[in-house]
Amino acid sequence: MLFSRNFLSLALAAGVLGLASCNKGGGEFKKAKSGFEYKVFKSTGKGKYDAREVAPEGDATYKERTGKVMALNVEYRTGKDSVLFNSRKQQMGIPMRIELQEVKTKGGLEEAISLLQPGDSGVFRFNVDSIFAKSFKSPVPPFMKKAGPTMTMYVKVDKVQTREEAMADQQKSMVDAQQKMMAHAKDQLKKDDVVLQDYIKKNNLTAQRDTSGIYYVVTQPGAGAKPKQGQTVSVQYRGTLLDGKEFDSSAKGNGGKPISFALGVGQVIPGWDKGIALLSKGSKATLLIPSSLAYGQRGAGADIPADAPLRFDVELVDIK
């Protein structure tokens, strides 16, 4: 489906992203009859908001919006105020879109969203056990339990549209975002190249540069053939930021065993598809990958910042 009704699942799959959100203050929470707490704000123009009264039993105008699509930005935080998900960052500024339907489950995300009108912002605080049972239909993850008894959702509603309007709007937003990403990646590649050259110089590395922008240092030549697109390769690896901080390794993440993937078909970051193809079977090497061929503007979780060039020390164990 083009539009999602359950964006909690997307949020929890995304990991922790350190981003600020708006409208966290603004007076005392009110309580809905179904149990969650809320604050709702209406826009007064020029980026300013005033509190908007919403009855505990809900917004009587919501029935006029059912069947339409709401475009919104959303952020989730744990009871300790750690960010679980921020759609502005995760979706490159493209709003999330959800179909508005009759609220069948009271006390969940659907009821909270039903309180909001176009242009509104809202802060919603849920009991973590209740929200997982009602909206996610699963036990609370241990890390959420440790973070406290609540989960807070911050929402900014952009607009409410017909399905046709929303589809056209989303397609345009995706094209615009793709163009911006490509322009940013081109500019960032030049910046990363300066950073990587400086890193190579400071660490006295004898590196070669691939036409893609990857630098590589073969530390132990292999005797076998180089892999071809579509072949399955097995690789031992250790990934670090340029400051030496490790974010992943096959030793820790795969029980010491090499990971296997089909080369050149997008199963890994582009820098791996291009870098591993440069090596012969049995080779050990260091790959220095510009951010545009790694995780780009989005970064990855809490460990890999946006626009971060990466170092991977790899061994091409096998080719099948």
Region 282-306 average pLDDT: 90
DSSP states of 117-174 as a string? -TT-EEEEEEEHHHHIIIII-SPPPHHHHHT-SEEEEEEEEEEEE-HHHHHHHHHHHH
Does residue 301 register a pLDDT over 80?
Answer: no
Taking the domains of the chain in order of start, what are their residue ranges?
7-161, 185-319
Which CATH architecture is the domain 185-319 placed in?
Roll (3.10)
**Residue 188 neighbours by CB under 8 Å, 6+ apart:** 290, 291, 292, 296, 297, 307
Q: What confidence score (pLDDT) does residue 8 get?
A: 40
Q: What confidence score (pLDDT) does residue 148 get?
A: 92
**Is it true that domain 7-161 has CATH number 3.10.50.40?**
yes
Check if 7-161 and 185-319 are the same fold: yes
Model confidence at 15, pLDDT cuts 50, 70, 90, reads: very low
Average pLDDT, the chain: 87
Say what percent of the chain tops pLDDT 90: 63
Q: What confidence score (pLDDT) does residue 5 get?
A: 40
Region 14-31 average pLDDT: 51
| Active site residues per annotation | 237, 247-248, 269, 295, 312
192 vs 290: CA distance, rounded Å: 6
Does residue 177 register a pLDDT over 90?
Answer: no
Tell me which of 4-8, 27-31, 75-79 is least confident: 4-8
Region 218-239 average pLDDT: 94
Helices (H) and strands (E) in the chain, counts: 8, 15
For the CA atoms of 250, 251, 254, 255, the dihedral, rounded to the nearest 10 degrees, stands at 160
Model confidence at 3, pLDDT cuts 50, 70, 90, reads: very low
**Residue 221 neighbours by CB under 8 Å, 6+ apart:** 280, 282, 283
